[in-house]
Amino acid sequence: MANSNGGYIGIEYTANAGTQDAVVTTFNSSGTLTTAARTTQVQYVIVAGGGAGGANGNGSGGGGAGGYRSSVPGEASGGGASAESLSSVSGSTGYPVVVGGGGAGSTSDGARGSNSSFNGVVSTGGGGGSFVGPEKPGGSGAGASYSTGGGSGTSGQGYNGGGSFYVGGDNNGGGGGGGAGEVGTSNPAHTAHAAGSPIPTLPQRGYPGGDGVASSITGSSVTRAGGGGSTGRFTNNGIIGAGGAGGGAAGANPVSSTANAGSANTGGGGGGEDGANGSGNGGAGGSGVVIIKEPAVNFLENTGGVWDMNALYDNVKAGNWVS
């Protein structure tokens, strides 16, 4: 017998419409993300550990920021790149998350930071401040010590570190570490030498690290992955290089002090230490962070059977109809 139910003949089903709420999970150390039942794609911000500042030069470079990768729509990844595609996942499934540590400081070259990763997406550890050592390249490159160019950043993750150039005596400063959002500042003598221009007389000072990148994945805007500031070859109370916004540390002053460390869970680069006149370590890099957002999911259950035309129209209009 036909029911008076708006246009079908058969068993009447009561549909259940609802929403799986958005979930944001922050990993300050390595762990496992277990997705919610209906999650099929996630947004991420993945920041590697920052590099340590150098302590082996006539003015030592700041550490490079950890590589910065983001898939948050409308935001940026490091190195001027746009947001990446969302990461595809399965519901109710565990995914390993690796959070990289910051590079260790020493009385010579700074160590590179460790990589962070999630679901096949890897951010590269920040470069360690050094003279000619292999540690300089990274997610963001480290600032140079003595007379060399800054370390190279990784495409889509961060910028290069600043260069340095020794002009004799005490008037020298290392390059600032590269940040996810900006190149580290070079010693002006390096810039002039690279351009074939006369070498200027320099003050005793360090130079700033590059700024990081801001994200609102957690609901509030937070800047991460700033480069470390450098130091000069000090015989006086000279100006230190400021750390870049996003956890980058400032260089050390007075001499013989251990340089400042990058902020934890930002991937900030460590500050440089005056290796010619001081005896402390370069500043350690800040540890990384991995943030995963599972967007809200609208769902409709108990849709088997025959639908009345009124319910079909309402659910198609609302965007809840699943073919």
Q: How confident is the model at residue 29 (pLDDT cuts 50, 70, 90)?
A: very high
* pLDDT for residue 319: 66
Q: How many other CB atoms sit within 10 Å of the CB of residue 88?
A: 9
pLDDT tops 90 at residue 131 = no
Helix ranges (DSSP H) in the chain:
188-195, 309-318
In this prediction the pTM is 0.88
pLDDT tops 90 at residue 238 = no
294 phi/psi in degrees, rounded to 5: -95, 110
* pLDDT for residue 152: 96
Mean pLDDT for the stretch of residues 301-316: 68
User: Which residues lie below 8 Å from residue 296, measured CB to CB, with a gap of 6+?
Assistant: 19, 20, 21, 22
| 15-24 core/surface letters (b: 16 or more CB in 10 A; e: else) | eeeeebeeee
pLDDT digits (tens, 9 = 90+) for 264-284: 999 999 999 886 666 678 999
pLDDT digits (tens, 9 = 90+) for 158-191: 999 999 888 776 667 889 999 999 999 999 988 8
Q: How confident is the model at residue 4 (pLDDT cuts 50, 70, 90)?
A: very low
Q: Which tokens sit at 214?
A: 């801001």
Mean pLDDT for the stretch of residues 56-68: 88
The residue among 189, 190, 193, 191 whose CA lies nearest residue 201 is 189
Name the region of 306 (left: φ>0; alpha: ψ -120 to 50; beta: rest).
beta
Beta strand residue intervals within the chain, DSSP E: 16-20, 23-27, 31-34, 41-47, 68-70, 87-88, 94-98, 116-118, 121-123, 213-215, 222-224, 289-294, 297-301
* pLDDT for residue 259: 84
Instruction: Specify which of 52-56, 167-171, 226-230 reaches the highest per-range mean pLDDT.
Output: 226-230
How remote is the C-alpha of 223 from its chain's centroid? Answer: 9
User: Which residues lie below 8 Å from residue 314, measured CB to CB, with a gap of 6+?
Assistant: none
* pLDDT for residue 199: 86
Q: How many other CB atoms sit within 10 Å of the CB of residue 2?
A: 8
pLDDT digits (tens, 9 = 90+) for 83-110: 999 999 999 999 999 999 999 998 888 9
Q: Which residue has tokens 């409709």?
A: 300
